[in-house]
Homo-oligomer: A and B are copies of this chain.
Amino acid sequence: MFQLIKQDKSTKARLGRLTTAHGAVDSPFFMPVGTNGAVRSLSAENLLEFDTQIVLSNTYHLFLRPGLDVIGAAGGLHKFMSWDRPILTDSGGYQVFSLARLRKLTDEGVEFQSHHDGSTQFFTPEKVVDTQKILGSDIMMPLDECAPYPCDRSQAERSVLRTTLWARRSKKQYHAVLDRGRMQYLFGIVQGATYPDLRERSARELVGLDFDGYAIGGVSVGEPVPLMFETLDWVLPLLPEDKPRYFMGIGLPDQIVKAVGEGVDMFDTCVPTRYARHGSAFTRQGRVVVRNAQYIKDFGPLDDQCACRVCAKYTRSYIRHLFNSNEILGLKLITYHNVFFYVNLMKEIRAAIQGNTFDQFQKEFFGAYKSEFAAGESLAI
């Protein structure tokens, strides 16, 4: 399933290819987030225009609305959202802890109230696998317990134990219900908060269960950025080389460039779409807040180094005006540019690894990019 094509000589960056039932994805890659089965304001055609290879969607949201009944009747999530390339779905665990009103958390599973209608719902590891089977996800994530930050040691340890327990049950259910010959992958999610030994323990236990790939979860939950990156130092050396590594919910462009150099293969983040909603566009120099008054007569593109359709045609002045007039098109144009920026950044990263110039690429990138989260700062997005 995952082919490690090349290991960079100067850094730990890797070039690979993940083959799924809905086509191949070149790694390292970024997955635009389509929470409700749509990447904020972008159509499937839009995503294909710049060759987006994979998207992420949220099990928790889709389970609650429109519900498995509807998606099942449509023939799965790909058909429902008219997207025939790969989809990774998360487990819903993170959303249960962050969005829902948590009712009861036991080893059996998690009882919660829907953030829509307050209805009581129950997720077990088995149910989450069953759900993603119906969704038809190319990559399924198992239910895990995501520890908060800060988190005391006993709570962190409990979340590691429970995550391993649930991972084992997920794996068992996966083998019990998955159709033979139907290619859906199941990953493991490493927890352990900010405790190196717990992270190591979690990693070892999950590797022992032999998943199709490994995610580092419970990061970007408010911890200082350097600590977030330390997690990679603790975990990555323990993961098998021939499996993809996924840094969940990361990150800003400079964080992605850094993490690739540490050996990460997969990323997802709502940064490009969420920042677009607030009128911010990404460029290789950093973030441009297009809403700002300084752009009122700026008739240049969002990013003069960008090859996207929005930058070819529309000006900062116009997009700023649309934003200030509450015209949805403004949001759409920035979102398009930002997602393009991320997808294209990954393309350039892959080309650099391929061409043995990733080390140089990193230097040039960090030289030009104005970082917003220097050492010690928390990534609170």
Contact = CB atoms under 8 A, between A and B. Distances in A.
Interface of A: 36-38, 40-45, 61, 65-66, 69-70, 73-74, 80-82, 296-297, 299, 309, 313-315, 317-318, 320-322, 324-325, 327-333
A221 to B, nearest CB: 25
A73 B36 contact: no
- 10 A-B pairs with the lowest CB-CB distances in the bound complex, closest first: A36-B325, A41-B328, A66-B321, A38-B329, A38-B327, A73-B297, A82-B313, A36-B327, A38-B322, A41-B329
Task: Give the interface SS of chain A, mostly helix, strand, loop or mixed.
Answer: helix
Contacts of A322: 36-38
Contacts of A324: 65-66
B70 A321 contact: yes
B313 A45 contact: yes
Contacts of A43: 329, 332-333
Contact of A37 (B65, B66, B318): B318
Of A43, A296, A320, most buried by chain B (CB within 10 Å of CB) is A43
B40 A327 contact: yes
Contacts of A321: 36-37, 65-66, 70, 80
A274 to B, nearest CB: 13
A38 B326 CA distance: 11
Contacts of A65: 321, 324-325
A41 B318 contact: no
A349 B191 CA distance: 64
B74 A299 contact: yes
B317 A74 contact: yes
A308 B315 CA distance: 28
A299 B38 CA distance: 17
Contact of A40 (B37, B314, B329): B329
A73 B297 CA distance: 7
Contacts of A330: 38
Contacts of A66: 296, 317, 320-321, 324
Contacts of A82: 313-315, 318
A299 to B, nearest CB: 6
B70 A317 contact: yes
A325 to B, nearest CB: 4
